[in-house]
A and B are shown apart, each in its own frame.
Chain A
Amino acid sequence: MRAVNAVTSSWPGLQVDRPTFASVAERELDAVHRYLVFLTGNRAVAEDLTGETFEKAFRSWPRFDPRRGTPRAWLCRIARSVALDHFRAEERRRRREERYARGAAEVVSEVLGPSALEAALAQLSPAEREVVALRVLLDLDGPTAARVLGISPTACSTRLSRALKRLEELIDDERVR
Chain B
Amino acid sequence: MNEFAELVRDLRALPTAAPESLRERVLALGEPVPRRTLPQVSWRRSLVVLVPACAVALVSAAVVHGVLSSGTSPKPQALTSERGVAGEALAPTTRSPFVPPDANRHQDYEASMTVRVKDLDALTDRTNEAMQVARSYGGYVASVQQSTQAGEPGEAYLILRVPVGRVEEAMVRLSDLGTVLARQVSVVDLEQTLRQQRAQILRLKLFIARATEQLKRSLPADVRLRLQLQLQGARDDLARITRANGATLNQAALSHVALTLTTQKAATPVQKSSTGRFERAARDAGSFLAGTGAVGLFLLIVLSPLIAVACAAVVGLRAYRRREERRLLAA
Binding site for B on A (CB under 8 A): 7, 9-11, 14, 20-22, 25-26, 29-30, 32-34, 37-38, 47, 50-51, 54-55, 58-59, 61-63, 65, 68, 84, 87-88, 91, 112-113, 117-118, 125-127, 130, 132, 135-137, 150, 160, 164-165, 167-168, 171
Contact = CB atoms under 8 A, between A and B. Distances in A.
B325 A25 contact: no
Q: Which of B7, B12, B26, B40 has the most CB of A within 10 A?
A: B26
Contacts of A65: 40
Given A29-B22, A164-B1, A168-B4, A62 B331 contact: no
A171 B7 contact: yes
Given A58-B32, A88-B328, 6 more contacts: A10-B36, A11-B39, A22-B30, A30-B18, A59-B32, A127-B329
Given A51-B22, A58-B29, A150-B322, A132 B11 contact: yes
Interface string B29-50: 1111011110110100000000
Given A50-B22, A54-B26, A126-B329, A21 B10 contact: no
20 contacts: A14-B39, A21-B29, A25-B29, A32-B18, A34-B17, A47-B18, A47-B22, A50-B18, A54-B29, A68-B40, A84-B325, A88-B324, A112-B14, A113-B15, A118-B14, A127-B330, A137-B11, A137-B12, A150-B322, A150-B325
Contacts of B325: 84, 150
Contacts of A150: 322, 325
A53 to B, nearest CB: 9
Residues of A contacting B: mostly: helix
A34 to B, nearest CB: 4
A29 B23 contact: yes
B328 A91 contact: yes
Interface of B: 1, 4, 7-8, 10-12, 14-19, 22-23, 25-27, 29-32, 34-37, 39-40, 42, 322, 324-326, 328-331
Nearest to A29: B18
Nearest to A165: B4
A32 B23 CA distance: 12
Contacts of B27: 22, 25-26
B86 to A, nearest CB: 61
A61 B4 CA distance: 37
Given A11-B39, A164-B1, A30 B331 contact: no
Given A25-B26, A127-B329, A164 B4 contact: yes
Nearest to A34: B16
A136 B36 CA distance: 37
